[in-house]
Structure 1
C-alpha cells in the first residue's frame, strides 16, 4: 500500500508543496512553514477537505 501525499499551502507566503502525513504533526498541533516560519495549526496548511480527511485518518 502506498502512502498518500497531502497538498499543503502556507496561508502567509502561499508557498505550495506536498508532504507525507507521517511527517506532519497530529491534527490540532502547531506546524511551522519551512519557507517563511509562520506557525499555525496544521489544518490551516492542508489545501483540500480530502487532504484533511487523509491527515486525520492517518493520525487516528
Structure 2
C-alpha cells in the first residue's frame, strides 16, 4: 500500500514540498516553513482540500 503524502506550499515564500501527514502537527497547531521560517496554522500550508482531509484523518 502506498503511503499518503500531502502537498504543502508556504503562503509567504511559495516554496512547495511534500510531507508525510503523520510528521505534521495536529490540525490547528502552528507549523513553520523550513525555507523562510514563517509560522502559521498547518492548514494554511496544505494545498488541497483532499490534503486537509488526509491530514485530519491522521490526527483523529
Q: If the length of structure 2 is used for normalisation, what is the TM-score?
A: 0.96
Offset, 1:58: 0.9
Offset, 1:31: 0.1
Q: How many residues align?
A: 60
Give 3-state SS (helix, strand or coil) of 1:57's partner. helix
Runs of 5+ in structure 2 lacking a partner? none
Superposition map of 1:5-44 within 5 A: 5-44=5-44
In 1, distance between residues paired with 2:2 and 2:23? 15
Offset, 1:2: 3.0
4+ residue stretches of structure 1 with deviation over 6 A?
none
Offset, 1:3: 2.1
